[in-house]
Amino acid sequence: MLVYLRLFKESFSFALNALRNNKLRTFLSLLGITIGIFSIIAVLAAVDSLDKNIREQLSGLDSNTMYVARFSFGPSEVPRWKRLQFPEISYNEYKYLKSSLDDAEHVAYQLFVKRENIRNGKEIVSSVNTVVVSNEFEDIQALKFSKGRFYNESESNSGKSVVVIGDEIAKSLFGEFDPIGKKVRLYGQKFTVIGVVKKEGSGLFGDSNDVSIFLPANYVRNRFGDNNKNMNHIVIIKPKPGADVDELKANVVQKLRTKRGLKSDEIDTFFISVISGVQDVIDGMISFLNGAGWIISAFSLLVGGFGIANIMFVSVKERTNLIGIQKSLGAKNRFILFQFLFEAVILSVLGGVIGIIMVWIVAFITNIYIDDFEFILSFGNIFLGFGLSTFIGLISGVIPAISASKLDPVEAIRTGM
* 144-201 per-position pLDDT tens digit: 899 999 999 999 999 999 999 999 999 999 988 999 999 999 998 999 999 999 987 6
Q: Which of 198, 187, 106 is nearest to 148 (CA)?
A: 198
The widest CA-to-CA distance across the chain, in whole angstroms, is 101
Percent of the residues in the chain that have a pLDDT greater than 70, as a whole number:
81
d(CA 342, CA 327) in angstroms, rounded, equals 18
pLDDT digits (tens, 9 = 90+) for 62-76: 568 889 998 887 777
Mean pLDDT computed over 107-112: 94
Kindly indicate the confidence band of residue 19, based on its pLDDT and cuts at 50, 70 and 90: low
pLDDT at 253: 92
User: To the nearest whole number, what is the mean pLDDT of the chain?
Assistant: 81
Residue 12 carries which side chain, given as an amino acid letter? F
Per-residue pLDDT of 322-367, as tens digits, reads 767 777 767 677 777 777 777 777 777 887 888 888 888 888 887 7
CB neighbours of residue 104 within 10 Å: 19
